Structure formats: C-alpha cells, structure tokens
Amino acid sequence: MNRGNKGIIVALIVSVSAVLSGCSGNSDELDEKLTHTVKMSFINSLAYMADFHVSKRNISTGYTGLFDSKNIASSDVKANDISSVYNYSYDAINNMVNLGVKDSINANQEKRITTNLSNGNHLWVIAWESSGSSTLSAINKKQHNTPDVFNVRLFANGNYDVSVDDTAILTTEKGIVTDYLAVSNCANSLKVAGNTIDLCTGNISSSYLLVVDGNGKRVMTEE
C-alpha cells in the first residue's frame, strides 16, 4: 500500500472516531434533558380524608420536603374515594419518586414509600390500613376486559378466602393485588372473607380494582 492510500485510511479512521465521540456526547446530553411522564390515581381506603404527596427522590436528601405544600398531588381525598388523575413528569436519568399520604386534618399521621417509575405507566397509589397501621402501595393500572362478565382484581389488607358462585378461588395476600377474576352475577357471586361483594354499580365486560378488607369492599374503581 502506498503512502497516499495509508494517509487516506488514517484520515478516515480519525474522522469516524470524531463522529462517534460526538454522538456519545450528544447522547449523554440528551439523556439529561429527556423527560418522561406517568399518570397516577390515588385511592384512599383509609377511614379519614387524606392528602397525597409526590416528589423526586434524591439519594442525598431522602424524604426531605416530601410533605411540603408544593408537593401536594391531590388534597382532601375523602375516605374510601378516588382522586382525579395526576400527571407527573420526571427526568429520564432519575426514575425514583417519593410518595406520601397524610391525614388532611391531623397532619402528624404520615406514611411514605419510594418507588421506581416507567415512562407512560398509569399507577394506582393506594393508601390502606392493616391492624391499625396505615401504609402506601403503588401498582400498575391494568385492564382485562372480557365480554359478558365483570372482570375484577382484588387488593386486600390481609389474607382472605375468595369465592365465586360458592366455589373457592383463591386466598388474598396482604398488600398484593390478585389476578383477574371473572364474575357473572354482579349482586352475589363474589365473596371475600364470607362477605358478599356488590358489583352492580359497575358495567359488565369492564375491568375493576377492588380494595377490600375483612368486612368486604372499601373501594371499587374502574381500571
């Protein structure tokens, strides 16, 4: 190979390296500027009206500032009720978020968790109580619409036997959402811990999340 060809090859290698280096730098800058968005709906199955808070998680500061007024995502959510949808945007390079709930009147009753977000998700953020202690859980909203039946998932604060048409189906696990169940009769097919769960306020063929306890249904919301 003559010197001229060698010079051309060297020049091409240098040029390609420069382009790749530039692309890498631009990609890093893009990651820092990229914004993702999720939706959140807050379910208050507590016995009192509550405020829900959301703030970016910072490793160095932890939960500091979570319950500041600027971080209120939904206020005065009534007991056994659901908030409107809240849109939350965050930097793609940090998908951790702090979630908190507190009594709207008695501000010293506060609970908090940290969770990771995925772009485009819609979360149910559930405030619930077990054995006199309140807590928070975040689960993904999910539809499973099947014709001619009520499609329901259960989120329970304890371990309860579940039956459909008097046939034992499963036992709930504390703080864990079940798979979908198909219920044909809205009035009395579904029972949790021996309590009949009325689904007749819903629409057949639609999907619902039920928050339940040992006394039956606390909240029912469409997925």
Residue 73 lies in a domain: yes
Are 56 and 105 members of one domain? yes
In whole angstroms, give the CA distance from residue 192 to residue 15.
Answer: 69
pLDDT at 1: 52
- Tens place of pLDDT per residue across the chain (223 aa): 554 544 444 343 434 444 444 444 455 555 556 999 999 999 999 999 999 999 999 888 899 999 999 999 999 999 999 999 999 999 999 999 999 999 999 877 899 999 999 999 999 999 999 999 999 999 999 999 999 999 999 999 999 999 999 999 999 999 999 999 999 999 999 999 999 999 999 999 999 999 999 999 999 999 9
Residue 122 lies in a domain: yes
pTM comes to 0.85
In whole angstroms, give the CA distance from residue 98 to residue 57.
Answer: 5
Residues 133-171 have pLDDT tens digits of 999 999 999 999 999 999 999 999 999 999 999 999 999
Q: Which of 83, 105, 140 is the last residue of a domain?
A: 140
The tokens for 35 are 């914004």
Residue 196 lies in a domain: yes
Q: Using the structure block, give the residue that is written with the tokens 């160095």.
A: 60
Q: Which of 140, 167, 193 is the last residue of a domain?
A: 140
Are 46 and 130 members of one domain? yes
- Do residues 107 and 68 lie in contact, with contact meaning Cβ atoms separated by under 8 Å? no
> Please, how many CA atoms are within 13 Å of residue 135, restricted to the half-sphere of its CB?
15
Are 39 and 123 members of one domain? yes
Residue 38: phi and psi, rounded to 5, are -130, 160
- Do residues 75 and 19 lie in contact, with contact meaning Cβ atoms separated by under 8 Å? no
Question: Which range of residues forms the domain containing residue 58?
Answer: 35-140
Beta-carbon contacts of 119 under 8 Å, excluding residues fewer than 6 positions away, are: 36, 37, 38, 92
Residue 164: phi and psi, rounded to 5, are -130, 125
Are 159 and 192 members of one domain? yes
- Do residues 141 and 180 lie in contact, with contact meaning Cβ atoms separated by under 8 Å? no
Q: Which of 95, 114, 140 is the last residue of a domain?
A: 140
Residues 13-35 have pLDDT tens digits of 434 444 444 444 455 555 556 99
In whole angstroms, give the CA distance from residue 47 to residue 36.
Answer: 34
Which residue, 195, 174, 180, is CA-closest to 126?
174
Residue 206 one-letter amino acid: S
Residue 145 lies in a domain: no
The tokens for 164 are 């459909």
Percentage, residues of the chain above pLDDT 70: 85
Query: Residue 189 to residues 163, 177, 220: CA-CA distances in angstroms?
Result: 8, 20, 16
Beta-carbon contacts of 211 under 8 Å, excluding residues fewer than 6 positions away, are: 43, 45, 126, 128, 155, 156, 217, 218, 219, 220
Specify the number of domains making up the chain. Answer: 3
